[in-house]
Chain A
């Protein structure tokens, strides 16, 4: 009746009673990617490329963390790419009339608002997250074009600061993303709300009977994802210097891929901020490497897909137990 599932048997690496096989495999993979890049490409270790790489990580990173929180509840947020476009173009549009920080805050809040709506529809009305966020993907994309059909490029150079400023060797935007991961990791492991979100993905009924307000926490998860997407949109517009209503198509796929590479279960209840950050690193390094090699973009997509499958197969061995 049930088919046989191929299982890869691997020697396990155990340190201090903890199975660290996957962590070790991850670190090895990232080190390997960096080493290969450094040896085979003259450009990889140049400051320009590394700074670029760090800046490019920001969007995927922010979206991936937000996506992780939603995935942990057992849901999915397909709307993040459209939110990136909307919050970017809203911020760029408002810069003409408002102080820049206020305009940027408005962009972020737009993301929060969309997340709140997604979350409410999923948790209070019991709709499937896939359907809700698919609908908001197209709605929000449409709103971005309604707001401005043409790209908006603010002239005030202060608009570019958030995306391009450096703090020593590191871009400020990268530091913001790292801060989100650190705070997010603490949120997920050490706060009642974070633990509740993880537990809801594992078994919502158990959580409900433990006296925890499930709809409120599910709404919170989508709101966090919306906030991350809003922030990513503002930073992206600031970095590129121009906000386009068409930006961010298929960004949700990289975010989901980063979570899955990091071992998150799409069924919910399993995944961590640290591992997702690892997933982001792997994705961004692969992208960068393929670019440096001048691999044609369609082949890049093919390779990326194959690499994701390979990484997930290795991940699976962690779950094979008695």
Chain B
């Protein structure tokens, strides 16, 4: 089935976010859509999914003009969408999630469970995710596996167009291979796969054609053979990026954080390391290796069972100059219902008072300065709800909150996950600047390239223990990974 968008415009209130998008997808094609955060990718996806009606323009399916009024309309036309935010119900089994609303029944109306599980199994097998047990509670699966269930669910009916929004953000290793294999099979079956991703390496490997969207417009249509990652990054950012990672800094100075024998039952054991002023230390580990738990414990969010160097409470950490930018900004980084101003000022309210009241003018000035310094977009966003910012800018807002507190040690947990390349580069530059100003930085990441490129030293965790301490200059991605999975020489 071919899909064609013509002159699609989309406005929210007075703000137009898509300014006339033209896009063509052919059957049996993998069409990659790349663009910075806030470029309009999500809006485009919502329009294709029938979740958002375009303000003007048209959608043609096999040359015929169609009007998608609801996600149901899109389903009926064989257009299925898998969003980045999963819609799995954790308290139900995989089977229930897959067959939701379409259970096989026995006579009398009761659900025929054996048949339901068989169908679910068949669905998973045909998607290439046969390793997932349909009887499991979906909530017990890893996020990667949940994502696979979500994709299998989208394939339940007759699928002609599959829209995948950042499908690989949580996948790694063999799971990622399964996904790629599935996409290739779908392509052979004549399905149009619209693949939205930040990971340009994947896009180059998978896509038949690539469109670059920037500021609500398609600015380039190309093919992997005719472009390069560097060129795509330049197009997305609207400028040429000479170098993604800043150059190395000078030798680190005095110790800022000293952790010794830190343990927390069931999470991590006997962790010792130190952070020095002016140093960026990467912390790599597979999901479940205890990285984030350890960082939270150091920050005082959870008490350790043994060991020294961790703080008693977040308040004590902050007083000592620690800052923790957590992994999940929606769950623990932002108060989504509040303004950008309230969010950025949250950790420094008590310090900025006049008598019992908050110094409102001073607070606004400081926050506005920080918005400018981190170039959070749109520029005059202090009184906007923080939920209205794009993902990358929300991430910058969390960072701004902590920078206002004037930290001496900065712990960043996956600061670039789900963040576009241009914003990433901004974040790397900023972290580098901070290190040059004498901050000690711990950068937790599952991105090998990043953990190697942006740091001076890399700590590797495996199964809750420290498995390696490597110099970034002299190690390789392979070596780091080998330590992380326990196959180092």
Chain B residues closer than 8 Å to A210, beta-carbon distance? 314, 318, 346-347, 401
Chain B residues closer than 8 Å to A198, beta-carbon distance? 338, 342
Residue contact A321 to B335, C-beta cutoff 8 Å = no
Mark each residue of chain A from 190 to 210: 1 if its CB lies under 8 Å from any CB of chain B, else 0.
111001101101110111111
Residue contact A195 to B358, C-beta cutoff 8 Å = yes
Residue contact B335 to A202, C-beta cutoff 8 Å = yes
Residue contact B326 to A192, C-beta cutoff 8 Å = no
Mark each residue of chain A from 249 to 280: 1 if its CB lies under 8 Å from any CB of chain B, else 0.
00000000000000001000110000000000
B82 in the interface (beta carbon within 8 A): no
B251 in the interface (beta carbon within 8 A): no
Mark each residue of chain B from 134 to 175: 1 if its CB lies under 8 Å from any CB of chain A, else 0.
000000000000000000000000000000000000000000
Question: Please, how many angstroms separate the alpha-carbon atoms of A196 and B358 in the complex?
Answer: 12
Residue contact A190 to B360, C-beta cutoff 8 Å = yes
* B411 shortest CB reach to chain A, Å: 11
Chain A residues closer than 8 Å to B342, beta-carbon distance? 195, 198-199
Residue contact B346 to A207, C-beta cutoff 8 Å = yes
Chain B stretch 357-373: residues in CB contact (< 8 A) with chain A:
357-358, 360
Question: Please, how many angstroms separate the alpha-carbon atoms of A1 and B100 in the complex?
Answer: 8
Chain B residues closer than 8 Å to A207, beta-carbon distance? 335, 346
The answer to whether residues A209 and B358 also contact, given A195-B349, A321-B13 and a CB cut-off of 8 A, is: no
The answer to whether residues A4 and B70 also contact, given A191-B357, A202-B338, A269-B337 and a CB cut-off of 8 A, is: yes
Residue contact B314 to A199, C-beta cutoff 8 Å = no
Question: Please, how many angstroms separate the alpha-carbon atoms of A203 and B249 in the complex?
Answer: 37
The answer to whether residues A203 and B349 also contact, given A4-B70, A191-B358 and a CB cut-off of 8 A, is: no
Chain A stretch 193-250: residues in CB contact (< 8 A) with chain B:
195-196, 198-199, 201-203, 205-213
Residue contact B360 to A270, C-beta cutoff 8 Å = no
Number of contact residues on B: which range applies?
Answer: 35 or more
B265 in the interface (beta carbon within 8 A): no
Chain B residues closer than 8 Å to A270, beta-carbon distance? 337
Question: Please, how many angstroms separate the alpha-carbon atoms of A282 and B313 in the complex?
Answer: 45
Residue among A209, A270, A322 having the largest count of chain B Cβ atoms under 10 Å: A209
B101 in the interface (beta carbon within 8 A): yes
B317 in the interface (beta carbon within 8 A): yes
Closest to A200 in B: B335
Mark each residue of chain A from 71 to 111: 1 if its CB lies under 8 Å from any CB of chain B, else 0.
00000000000000000000000000000000000000000
Closest to A213 in B: B315
Chain A residues closer than 8 Å to B401, beta-carbon distance? 210
Question: Please, how many angstroms separate the alpha-carbon atoms of A188 and B333 in the complex?
Answer: 22
Chain B residues closer than 8 Å to A205, beta-carbon distance? 331-332
Can you list 16 A-B pairs, Cβ within 8 angstroms, ordered by A? Answer: A191-B358, A192-B358, A195-B342, A195-B346, A195-B358, A202-B335, A202-B338, A205-B332, A208-B301, A208-B314, A210-B346, A212-B349, A213-B315, A265-B337, A321-B13, A322-B52
Given contacts A192-B353, A199-B346, A270-B337, 4 further A-B contacts (CB under 8 A): A195-B358, A203-B334, A209-B299, A321-B13
